[in-house]
């Protein structure tokens, strides 16, 4: 019989093996339909999800895309090449299946444009990428799209939505590669749900894509760091990328400043860009208001006590005079006589325990009646 510990070790090992195997065959998917590069380069992790080529003008590259049906139903898929486009934030996007191909999408020739896959099946579709003659050096992006073929629309009117996936095809033509990135703007704006958005605008004026490391640091006006955001974004050739990074409303409110630093790998090494620093005022949150009021009250009490202490010292220095102890008098009697605390008499006269005074001894007291 296996021990309980051995059974648990066996179960954990099986689960780990299942997760490992499933990660090896994962693909970009939607609703059980997937696709990915069929022959990724083991030395370049990016080729697991992107087709990446370095091709001279006139050169042809053979490759394949793996189409996957992970559903329990037979699916007919449309597989097609298309030009790339940019989303509103400058991110990579793919043109629709029916749009005219003028750039890298026209360089891709698929062996098939339609396949039918049974449940839990996959198939590699070969394709060629041919770079035109006399093309300028730089990076060119296209994509291979996969979507389910829908039956003809029977009813008139209405809108049919078709979900698709797109795999980026990045082709670099060797030559004079230019990597030039600039910060075109940096903005702070209110977030409708609370807090703020910090938004950098990065313009790629080179001829290849650039992976940029973005660091946005927000500090209190006196320098202490409130929050730092670190992010990596790809800015495609000729595009301007912009992204909204959330900044929570500072708890205590006050004046703050936020700054932007962008770094990227240039042609001759690491390059760093510094954007403008934005100084802004933020109101406290509801909890912050309570904390601020409590802090203000503590400060007011401390200031009042300090003021009273200074005033008392001035009064003692100016008005108190020497007084000779009379027969039968002690500190309690003197405190009542001069209407002060006996502890104050002890403090001013620096008396030591047991705080006894003798007849004829002279001490300082407030002015008499």
**Distance (Å, whole) CA 357 – CA 365:** 13
Q: Which residues pair with 219 in a beta bridge?
A: 225, 257
Read off the pLDDT of each residue in 231-254 and give the average, rounded to a whole number: 92
Confidence of residue 86 (pLDDT cuts 50, 70, 90): confident
pLDDT at 369 over 90: no
pLDDT at 38 over 60: yes
Three-class secondary structure of residue 281 per DSSP: strand
For residues 162 and 148, the answer to whether their CB atoms sit within 8 Å is yes
Read off the pLDDT of each residue in 251-263 and give the average, rounded to a whole number: 95
pLDDT at 279 over 80: yes
Q: Please tell me the total number of residues recorded for the chain in this structure.
A: 369
pLDDT value at residue 241 = 92
pLDDT value at residue 29 = 55
**Distance (Å, whole) CA 359 – CA 325:** 5
The pTM (predicted TM-score) of the whole model is: 0.66
For residues 77 and 146, the answer to whether their CB atoms sit within 8 Å is yes
Three-class secondary structure of residue 119 per DSSP: coil
First and final C-alpha spacing in the chain: 102
pLDDT in tens, 176-215: 999 999 999 999 999 999 999 999 999 999 999 999 999 9
pLDDT at 222 over 70: yes
**Distance (Å, whole) CA 286 – CA 86:** 41
pLDDT at 23 over 60: no
pLDDT in tens, 119-148: 999 999 999 999 999 899 999 999 999 999
pLDDT at 1 over 70: no
pLDDT value at residue 9 = 47
Nearest by Cα to 172 from 145, 143, 138: 138
CA atoms within 13 A on the CB side of 191: 15
Q: What is the DSSP letter of 15?
A: H
- What residue ranges define each of the domains in the chain, with the CATH number in brackets? 26-150+163-173 (2.60.40.10), 181-283 (2.60.40.10), 287-365 (3.10.350.10)
């Amino acid at each position: 019989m296996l021990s309980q510990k051995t059974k648990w070790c066996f179960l954990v090992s099986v689960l780990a093996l299942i997760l490992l195997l499933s990660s090896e065959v994962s693909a970009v998917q939607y609703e059980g339909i997937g696709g990915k590069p069929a022959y990724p380069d083991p030395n370049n992790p990016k080729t697991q999800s992107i087709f990446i080529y370095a091709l001279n003008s006139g050169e042809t590259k053979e490759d394949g895309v793996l189409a996957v049906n992970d559903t329990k139903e037979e699916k007919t898929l449309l597989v097609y090449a298309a030009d790339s486009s940019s989303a509103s934030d400058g991110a990579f996007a793919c043109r629709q299946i029916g749009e005219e191909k003028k750039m890298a999408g026209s360089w891709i020739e698929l062996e098939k444009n339609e396949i039918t896959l049974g449940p839990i099946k996959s198939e590699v579709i070969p394709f060629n990428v041919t770079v035109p003659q006399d093309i300028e050096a730089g990076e060119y992006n296209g994509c291979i799209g996969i979507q389910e073929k829908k039956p003809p629309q029977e009813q008139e009117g209405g809108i049919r939505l078709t979900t698709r996936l797109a795999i980026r095809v990045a082709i670099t033509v060797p030559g004079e590669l230019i990597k030039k990135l600039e910060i075109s703007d940096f903005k702070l704006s209110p977030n409708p749900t609370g807090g703020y958005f910090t938004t950098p605008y990065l313009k790629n004026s080179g001829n290849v894509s650039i992976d940029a490391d973005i660091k946005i640091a927000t500090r209190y006006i006196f320098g202490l760091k409130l929050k730092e955001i670190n992010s990596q974004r790809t800015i495609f050739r000729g595009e301007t990328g912009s992204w909204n990074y959330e900044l929570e409303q500072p708890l205590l409110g006050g004046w703050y400043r936020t700054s932007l630093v962008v770094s990227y790998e240039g042609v001759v090494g690491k390059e760093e860009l510094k954007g403008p620093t934005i100084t802004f005022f933020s109101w406290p949150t509801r909890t912050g208001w309570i904390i601020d009021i409590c802090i203000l009250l503590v400060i007011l009490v401390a200031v009042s006590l300090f003021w009273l202490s200074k005033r008392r010292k001035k009064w003692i220095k100016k008005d108190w005079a020497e007084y000779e102890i009379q027969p039968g008098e002690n500190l309690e009697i003197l405190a009542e006589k001069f209407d002060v605390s006996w502890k104050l008499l002890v403090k001013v006269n620096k008396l030591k325990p047991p705080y006894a005074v003798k007849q004829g001894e002279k001490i300082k007291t407030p002015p008499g009646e």
